[in-house]
A = this chain, B = another copy of it.
Amino acid sequence: MHVILDLCVVPLGVGVSVSQYVVACHKELEKTGLKSKLHAYGTNIEGEWDEVMAAVKKCHEKIHTMGAPRITTTIKLGTRTDRDQTMDDKVQSVLGQLE
């Protein structure tokens, strides 16, 4: 089952600046080889369900290891059985109609 997922990880108890934790999460994602793309309120990831979810777990584990005692995460994720669709397809299907 292929999934497109939007991940937003927020560490609590580490002060107001959290970018170093987002960076660490991003590096974990890069290690997995999954396709991912950062935006201003999260990161889009795509791949097989189990691999993507394992990557999300890795991010939580990493951020706790870095000293964050608490993490709250928001995820949006989509699966479909009618056809294959990538992150790029989704963006292009909108941009194509905007032109």
- Number of chain A residues close to chain B: CB under 8 A: 54
Contact B16 A69 (CB under 8 A): yes
Which B residues are CB-close (under 8 A) to A41?
4-6, 42, 44, 76, 78, 87, 90
Which B residues are CB-close (under 8 A) to A15?
12-13
Q: In the complex the two chains form, what is the Cα distance from A80 to B42 in whole Å?
A: 17
Which B residues are CB-close (under 8 A) to A34?
none
Which B residues are CB-close (under 8 A) to A46?
40
20 further A-B contacts with Cβ under 8 Å, apart from A40-B88, A41-B42, A64-B81, are A5-B41, A6-B8, A8-B76, A12-B15, A13-B15, A19-B97, A20-B97, A26-B98, A39-B44, A41-B78, A49-B57, A49-B60, A53-B53, A60-B79, A69-B80, A70-B78, A71-B79, A71-B80, A74-B75, A74-B76
